[in-house]
Structure 1
Amino acid sequence: MTAAAPLRWVGIVRLGLVQSAIGAIVMLATSLLNRVMVVEYALPAAFPAGLVAWHYAVQLSRPIWGHGSDRGRRRTPWILGGMALLAGGAMVAVWALGVIAGGGRWGYALAVLAFAMIGAGVGAAGTSLLALLATRVAPERRAAAASVTWIMMVAGIAVSAAVAGTLVDPFSYLRLCAVVSGVAGAAFLVATAAVWGLERPVPMPDEALPPPPAFRAALRAMWADSDARRFTIFVFLSMLAYAMQDLILEPFTGLRFGLTPGQSTQVSSIQHGGVLLGMILAGVGGSVFAGHGASGLRRWIVAGCIGSALALCGLALAARVGPGWPILANVFALGFANGIFAVAAIGAMMALAGAGAADGSPSEGIRMGVWGAAQAIAFGLGGLTGAVAVDAGRALIGSMPEAFTLVFGTEAMLFLVAAAMSLRGAPRVVGLGREVML
């Protein structure tokens, strides 16, 4: 077995570069290729939407990837293997699009394979990266580390989107191939350089730790832990609430407030600006107050959940009031509260995963995998549920404002339930000699 000193800030930033690389390639699949399929190739919008949903479904394999890195007691090979699979999946997706454009029916099956590779790559690389962070980041730095890595992921998405958007015009299939291959290849090289040599273990006797259990035994042991089980439910509920407005917020501002397509797109930018500011605040504040025991990460989680619920109540009122409501400020507030919640929740994941199994065997990977799978289910289900609920509400109630009010109000209640779970059942975690309340 191995042990190593906690990561310094340079090491945390290097892992943030890996997260940036993951975000850059995922952007190609979920944004650029989505638009190209629908606009340039006139494919049904349901096709790329189904592929994105499929890549989330494949991420249910996250516990398997995490357990593999636990058994090997090394995260780096799983991170690099996942990045290779992710980059390869993006390039296969472009190949599939060319086959479909040429009339080849098997291109659809190839696209399904490509997005399966993308989902598996995100699962393997992302889960192992979070497990490495949970293992090697000191408790007092976890909130800041979560903030740094997620801000860098957003930056990776933004930079790659800007570069790809600039280089793909004037559009042609060959230019699309070059851009996707270039971005995916560059992201893989950045991730490899960032993680290479970072996981330098100190040899210890093999008998220092018990051998890792088999997958099913590890999964049963993890689920038998009441703290881990309760936290899994918390992750699902809170992320479900987080994701329900993803597909309906921009249409809402257009339908209810008459914003143009360009103005509605700017709403997303305003929301993400709030997310970044909230992440920075939670990262700095979570580190400054890391030693306050029960007032640590749990307070930031509760504050983020309640703030998100209040902002969603504001959107529910906005649906009733319509023009005249400060919609942009409301959206910014939602993003700000979401950012606080997201960083605190990820820091809590790292703390609870870092606590390890009761028998001392490595378990960070499988714990992160289970929570990542719960998050993937919530993201995929949340966006779909929000959109379907609005359509069903408009059909059954016959009122567009009331349909949006119902959906935003449901999201607010889910956030309040998540906050109550955090307050009533906060697990106590011990790590590196410092107690942290989740």
Structure 2
Amino acid sequence: MSAGTLSWLSIVRLGLVQMCLGSIVVLTTSTLNRLMVVELALAAAIPGALVALHYAIQMMRPKWGYTSDTGGKRTRWIIGGMAILATGALMAASAVVLMHTTFWPGMILSVLAYAVIGVGVGAAGTSLLALLASATAPERRAAAATITWLMMIAGIAVTASTVGIFLDPYSSTRLMQVVAIVTGGAVALTALAVAGIEKRAHTAHRAETDAAPFWEGLKEVWSEKRARVFTIFVFLSMVSYFMQELILEPYAGMVFGFTPGQSTGLSGAQHMGVFAGMITVGIASTGLGIGSLRTWVVAGCIGSAASLAAVAALGQVGQWLTPAVVAMGYFNGMFAVATIGAMMMLAGEGRKDREGTRVGLWGASQAIAAGFGGLTGAAAADLMRISLPVPEAFGTVFLAEAVLFIISAAMAFVILDRGRPVPAAGFVAGE
């Protein structure tokens, strides 16, 4: 299997797939979540549990990655996964419509829909990253990670804003039309974006080259020390990353007196910080050749820890929260995109034709951490509020996250090679 053959144009085209994934997922985690809580007046725990279900299903990512390794033709897994994801999103929207008249049939359909969504995200996302990892030159992997994740954030932002406009005035018919357009467009764009890339990159695998059972392949990858320790690092760092997800806006409202609109704006400011952090890594590491992936991961973790400590401390002051949250987003983005770049680098180490299995293992670790971290952060804040004032209760959780980020930084310092700089590489059209 040859590697390092993706041109910049091909990397951008694969980034379009990541953008499509983000566009569909944001419908289910944001738009439908709001409809269930506000229009249907359901407990927020219900959509929260449905989102947790779609993360739980992604524990199967190693299996899907292994299948794309040994069965070949990652393209069909990417397109097929996107089609499954689109189907799940349509089912989820239909379930919301159904709940308006008959709750339990709609609830049952929602559970099935979010399970399907988890399958689609896992199958498409894992194979996409495996293709990037196996076919991108080492000096371009950090840039590839930056490009694809920036495009995903762009897809989320554009979809969230435009869907909000077209949904007003809200009706069930309008909801189904909007979701159908977004999901249908995502599947069509994905098929166009990936057409011919795998064949030209010469990364297609032959099933007959490896007939080992899945568990043997997974055991083989788990026996690789760096792959195993990196899995633990991904889990720990992503728990840190997601613990604040469900408590930041309540913290802003309860402690700083933010209105719902202001807290939503705070979330937007945080994501702008994430965007800026990702761009910094892409330009500095790839364009200017500054720093190694280890440097950027460690710096992102330490910066995130410092920002979380500031967010906690400012609860005693009652002001200046937004700059601290923007800084947190900035270092989160730096850490996240550098970690993806490191993952793509490490995916090609060890036995060949196991890139999908490694990516799947790390993807499963991330998905478990996302669900666990979010729920743990919310539950911890609730428990702390029983015995502590609100600022101290939330602040304790933020400080716990900061400690986890410091531990993650120490792990990254040991796992990742110091001597792996990202050489400068220009974006040459058609290269």
Classify the TM-score, shorter chain: over 0.9
- Which residue of structure 1 lines up, in the alignment, with residue 363 of structure 2? 372
Give runs of aligned pairs for residues 403-422 of structure 1, distance below 5 A.
403-422=393-412
- Which residue of structure 1 lines up, in the alignment, with residue 76 of structure 2? 77
- Which residue of structure 2 lines up, in the alignment, with residue 390 of structure 1? 381
Distance 1:257 1:110 in 2: 39
- Which residue of structure 2 lines up, in the alignment, with residue 315 of structure 1? 311
User: In the superposition, relative to structure 1, how do residues 321 and 4 fare at CA in structure 2: closer, same or farther (>3 Å)?
Assistant: closer
CA contact (8 A) 2:218 2:357 kept: yes
**Structure 1: tracts of 5 or more residues without a match:** 434-438
* DSSP 3-state at the match of 1:105: helix
* DSSP 3-state at the match of 1:200: helix
- Which residue of structure 1 lines up, in the alignment, with residue 170 of structure 2? 171
Q: Deviations over 1:44-88 (max 9, x none)?
A: 322211111111111111111101100122210100110000000
User: In the superposition, relative to structure 1, how do residues 202 and 139 fare at CA in structure 2: closer, same or farther (>3 Å)?
Assistant: closer
Cα drift, residue 429 of structure 1: 9.7
Greater Cα shift, 12-21 or 251-260: 251-260
- Which residue of structure 1 lines up, in the alignment, with residue 427 of structure 2? none
Among residues 323, 330, 341, which one is paired with 1:329 in the alignment?
A: 323
- Which residue of structure 2 lines up, in the alignment, with residue 30 of structure 1? 29
- Which residue of structure 2 lines up, in the alignment, with residue 436 of structure 1? none
Distance 1:236 1:200 in 2: 34
- Which residue of structure 2 lines up, in the alignment, with residue 426 of structure 1? 416
User: In the superposition, relative to structure 1, how do residues 261 and 270 fare at CA in structure 2: closer, same or farther (>3 Å)?
Assistant: same
Over the matched positions of the two proteins, sequence identity in percent amounts to 53
User: In the superposition, relative to structure 1, how do residues 404 and 207 fare at CA in structure 2: closer, same or farther (>3 Å)?
Assistant: closer
Cα drift, residue 282 of structure 1: 0.6
| 2:305 partner amino acid | A
- Which residue of structure 2 lines up, in the alignment, with residue 111 of structure 1? 110
Q: Which runs of 4+ in 1 moved over 4 A?
A: 201-210, 427-431
Distance 1:374 1:427 in 2: 22
Q: CA RMSD in A?
A: 2.4
- Which residue of structure 1 lines up, in the alignment, with residue 61 of structure 2? 62
| 1:16 partner amino acid | G
Greater Cα shift, 3-12 or 345-354: 3-12
User: In the superposition, relative to structure 1, how do residues 213 and 40 fare at CA in structure 2: closer, same or farther (>3 Å)?
Assistant: same
CA contact (8 A) 1:289 1:296 kept: no
CA contact (8 A) 1:355 1:429 kept: no
| 1:388 partner amino acid | A
Give runs of aligned pairs for residues 17-416 of structure 1, distance below 5 A.
17-103=16-102, 105-201=104-200, 210-211=209-210, 213-288=212-287, 295-323=291-319, 326-357=320-351, 360=352, 362-395=353-386, 397-416=387-406
User: In the superposition, relative to structure 1, how do residues 190 and 207 fare at CA in structure 2: closer, same or farther (>3 Å)?
Assistant: closer
User: In the superposition, relative to structure 1, how do residues 429 and 7 fare at CA in structure 2: closer, same or farther (>3 Å)?
Assistant: farther
| 1:85 partner amino acid | I
* DSSP 3-state at the match of 2:198: coil
* DSSP 3-state at the match of 1:221: helix
Distance 2:204 2:118 in 1: 37
Greater Cα shift, 94-103 or 253-262: 94-103
Cα drift, residue 348 of structure 1: 0.3
CA contact (8 A) 1:82 1:121 kept: yes
**Structure 2: tracts of 5 or more residues without a match:** 424-431
Cα drift, residue 105 of structure 1: 2.6
Aligned length: 424
Cα drift, residue 271 of structure 1: 0.7
User: In the superposition, relative to structure 1, how do residues 205 and 170 fare at CA in structure 2: closer, same or farther (>3 Å)?
Assistant: closer
Distance 2:251 2:202 in 1: 57
CA contact (8 A) 1:4 1:201 kept: no
CA contact (8 A) 2:15 2:152 kept: yes
Distance 1:199 1:205 in 2: 6
Distance 2:154 2:330 in 1: 17
